[in-house]
Chains A and B, each alone.
Chain A
Amino acid sequence: MKHTQSRAGFALPMAIFLLLVTTGAVMTTLAQTSTERRVSDSGATGERALVLAESGLARLDELGFDFASSVQDSARITMSDGFADVVMERVRAPTSTERAVFVVRARGVQTQGGWSDAPNAVRTVVRLGEWVEGTMQVHAGWTSLTGLRKNGNAGSLSGIDQCGVQSPVAGVAVPDSPGYSGHSGPVSGSPPIKSIGSTPGNAAAQVHIDWAGIVDGSALEPDYVYPDDGWPSDFDDWPVIYVDNPGSGFSLPDSGRGTLIVRGDLTISGSRSWDGIVLVGGELTSNGNNRVRGATITGLNVKLGETPGESDVGNGNKSYVYNSCNVQDAMQSQASLRILDNTWLDTWAQY
């Protein structure tokens, strides 16, 4: 006989119970893992915010803050996973003997990569910096550590400030030997010809330019290194150009302005002109009716123990004159905020 009445069993309740237990265990494990990931991610995003803040400080140069005339400025740098708000504030005004001091701070905010309901990670770092104005000691319109030879009586080698701001300097500054030779008629200044020592070595000690540092790149960061970077196409910002031609000659390809630094010899031909500063390691040979308005120093390789030749100004209406405004404009492009070592801190008030 067949039973049609249903009979109670325990397989189904047992299976359901087992499923509940397993689900509970899995849920507990997931919750624990999730909590730990949040804690771990919280630390990681905090570190990332710190990196963003540090990146903000490192990119200070890109922000174009006017440290020369502003006392406060700010900018935001947006990055792939957040941003950095960079603020500069002057905390000490410049005095006649002291430079202006600024505090620069960057607040890094991590906006990506964290949990959706978690607040953004924020870190602020601070450093101090001082505004270093570009300055240059000018002995003369043309200072040559290895003497200067002038052919003909035309042209001008003048230490009288063409800009009319500063007191006159010498027209030419040279050592006693080799000194200045040739016609002295084109030379004017106070005095027209100045001795800066008996020998090129003595003269080198009087010219306070860190030529070795410039040559090895530690003292100055050029805007252009020729020939690697090519010749600049615009000179609006008074660029610093370093011509890397040790032991060979370089002919000025075009007129321009800024700071022209030539490791070897320099030739200026035709009617080309330069406004600003010309620093030459070797000798400068001038052909044609060219001119430099600013300050010229040649023979600087003496500072490296080398023996460059005497600079030579040929016949023609050449003009090498002191112009303090052009010198200042050229140096201004070299002014910068020097971040002070040992002034990092991350305890800036967050609110």
Chain B
Amino acid sequence: MTLVEMLVGLVVSGIMLGALVGLFINQSQLTGDRASRRVARDVVRSGSQILSADIRRLESSGGVEAASADSVTLRVPLAIGLVCGSSGGGSPSTTVSLLPTDSVRYATAAVSGFAWRSQAGAYTYMPTTGLGSGTASTCSSASVSTLSGGRVVELTAGSGAIPAGAPALLYERIRYAFTDTGSGVALVRTLVESGDREVLVTNFSDGGTRFRFFVGSSGTAQDAPPADLSDLTGLELVLEGQGDRPRVSDGAVATVPLTVPVYFKNQMN
């Protein structure tokens, strides 16, 4: 090999190695950007799925206890059944025959009370955290059957005005909030009765993530909650997930917006 041949080989090798390194860097950046966008998509997808499931179950007249753009306190129905008997006075109690309910969901709930449905369809909420086993005979004497997998419970709230046979919902109060953690906004769930707090999803972008509100029959959500929260018929989830790293090209973090309307399934027709 002559010196000339060696120099030519070195130059050609240098050019090719440079191209390869460039290819590696580009590929790495592309993969990184794609992964970052995927993180952003996961953020909005997870947030949407978690919130939608609970919001959909709400009962419109009293399902939302408090609301603002960055947090909502919900009375989420946990189980449904029929009232077997109820009494007020100094030691109020209500016996409810519950339909079979997802065991994990039931076991992890922090029950906040029950709501009973009048013949006209309106619910009255009876807050109580006192929940224990009920007496089956109370239900059988009210002609109420407890299905296989169901259970009879007794709650320490009641009224003589609650008729046997009235549908009743067990509910738990859950607060969902978009909270700024410094490095982004996180969706935080708090079980109001127990105070248990859990960060569900992180990496929402600040400013682009909030609740909006459907009121009455309007199909367009509004920014502010109505003065009377029983006018709510649904929530709009305005979510913007952000990636976990800045792009090399411009230093910006990828964001993915998602707007999801979720209407309450339990509404008076």
Q: Point out residues on A near B: beta carbons under 8 Å.
A: 10, 14, 17-18, 21, 25, 28-29, 32, 36, 39-40, 43, 89-95, 98, 101, 103, 126, 128, 340-350
Dominant secondary structure at the A interface: mixed
Query: Are A342 and B121 in touch, CB under 8 angstroms?
Result: yes
B133: CB under 8 A from chain A? no
Residue from B60, B101, B268 having most chain A Cβ neighbours under 10 A: B101
Chain A hits for B13, CB < 8 A: 10
Contact A340 B167 (CB under 8 A): yes
CB < 8 Å neighbour of B38 from A32, A91, A98: A32
Closest-CB distance, A50 to chain B (whole angstroms)? 9
> How far is the CB of A290 from the nearest CB of chain B, in Å?
42
| Chain A residues whose C-beta falls within 8 Å of the C-beta of B165 in the assembled complex | 92, 98, 101
Contacts A18-B20, A341-B268, A342-B268: A103 and B99 contacting too (C-beta < 8 A)?
yes
B269 within 8 A of A: yes
- B78 CB within 8 Å of chain A: yes
A21 touches B267 (CB 8 A): no
Give which listed residue, B23, B102, B123, B266, contacts A347 with CB less than 8 A.
B102
B85 to chain A, nearest CB (A): 13
| 9 cross-chain CB contacts under 8 A | A93-B143, A93-B145, A95-B143, A342-B266, A345-B79, A347-B57, A347-B101, A349-B100, A349-B101
Asked whether A344 and B265 contact (CB < 8 A) given A103-B147, A350-B102, the answer is: yes
Asked if B235 is at the interface of the complex by the 8 Å CB criterion, the answer is: no
Give chain B residues whose Cβ lies under 8 Å from the Cβ of A350. 102
Q: Which residues of A contact B78 (CB under 8 A)?
A: 347
Q: Does B197 touch A at the CB level, under 8 Å? A: no
Chain B, interface SS category: mixed
Across the interface, which residues of B come within 8 angstroms of A36, CB to CB? 38, 41
Chain A residue numbers with a CB within 8 Å of B82 are: 91-92, 101, 128
Instruction: Provide the residues of chain B in CB contact with A39, threshold 8 Å.
Output: 42, 45
A40 to B258, CA, bound (A): 14
Q: Output the nearest chain B residue to A36 by Cβ-Cβ distance.
A: B38
Bound form: Cα–Cα A126–B165 in Å:
17
Interface residues of B (CB under 8 A from A): 9, 13, 16, 20, 23-24, 27, 31, 34-35, 38, 41-42, 45, 49, 53, 56-57, 59-60, 77-80, 82, 97, 99-103, 105-106, 117, 121, 123, 142-145, 147, 149, 165, 167, 169, 265-269
Closest Cβ–Cβ distance, residue A69 to chain B (whole Å): 16
Residue with the greatest number of chain B CB neighbours at <10 A, chosen from A14, A95, A103, A126:
A103
Selected from A14, A91, A342, the residue in CB contact (under 8 A) with B117 is A342
Using Cβ atoms and an 8 Å threshold, which residues of chain B touch A345?
A: 57, 77, 79-80, 99, 169
Q: Is the CB of A341 within 8 A of B20?
A: no
Q: What residues of chain A lie closer than 8 Å to B80, measured between beta carbons?
A: 126, 128, 343, 345
Q: Are B59 and A347 in contact (CB under 8 A)?
A: no
Known: A39-B45, A43-B45. Is A91-B147 also a contact (CB below 8 A)? yes
Identify the closest chain A residue to B81 (Cβ).
A91
Give the residues in chain A near B31, CB-CB below 8 Å. Answer: 25, 28-29
Contact A346 to B57, CB < 8 A, known contacts A101-B82, A126-B80: yes
Residues of A within 8 A of B142 (CB): 92
In the bound complex, residues from chain B placing their C-beta under 8 Å from that of A28 are: 31
- Shortest CB distance A34–B (Å): 12
Query: Considering only CB atoms, which chain A residue lies closest to B84 in the complex?
Result: A92
Q: Does the CB pair A40–B121 fall under 8 Å?
A: no
Given A39-B45, A101-B165: A348 touches B99 (CB 8 Å cut-off): yes
Name B265's closest neighbour in chain A (CB-CB): A344
A341 to B167, CA, bound (A): 11
B42 contact set on A, CB distance < 8 A: 39
Alpha-carbon distance A219/B61, docked complex (angstroms): 25
